[in-house]
Amino acid sequence: MDYPLSPDNSAPATGQSLPPVGVGVFLVALAPFCLAIDLSVAECARANLFPKWLVKAANLSEFFAHGFGVIMIAILIATLDSRRAHALYVGCAALLAGLSGDLMKLVIFRVRPRDFDFAGNVWTTFHEWLPVLTLHPAQLSGSFPSSHAATAAGLAFALTTIYPSGKTVFAVLAGCACLQRVFAGAHFPSDVAFGAGLGWCAAWLLTRFVLPGRWWKPTQERCTTPS
Q: Measure the CA–CA gap between 158 and 151, rounded to whole angstroms.
A: 11
HSE, CB side, 13 Å, CA atoms: give it for residue 197.
19
Q: For 186-212, write each residue's pLDDT tens digit.
A: 999 999 999 999 999 999 999 999 988
Q: What pLDDT score was predicted for residue 223?
A: 39
Q: What pLDDT score was predicted for residue 135?
A: 58
Q: Measure the CA–CA gap between 25 and 225, rounded to whole angstroms.
A: 47
63 — pLDDT class (breaks 50, 70, 90): very high
Q: What pLDDT score was predicted for residue 13?
A: 42
Q: What pLDDT score was predicted for residue 181?
A: 95
pTM of the predicted model, to two decimals? Answer: 0.85
Q: What pLDDT score was predicted for residue 96?
A: 94
Identify the bridge partners of residue 126 per DSSP, sorted by sequence position: 110
Q: Are residues 200 and 151 in contact, defined by beta-carbon separation less than 8 angstroms?
A: no
**Mean pLDDT (whole number) for 153-176:** 95
Q: What pLDDT score was predicted for residue 133?
A: 77
The residue ranges of every structural domain in the chain are 22-211
Q: What pLDDT score was predicted for residue 131?
A: 77
Q: Measure the CA–CA gap between 227 and 224, rounded to whole angstroms.
A: 9
What mean pLDDT value characterizes the chain? 86
Q: For 120-153, write each residue's pLDDT tens digit.
A: 898 988 888 887 777 566 666 788 999 999 999 9
Q: What pLDDT score was predicted for residue 213?
A: 85
22-211 has which CATH code?
Answer: 1.20.144
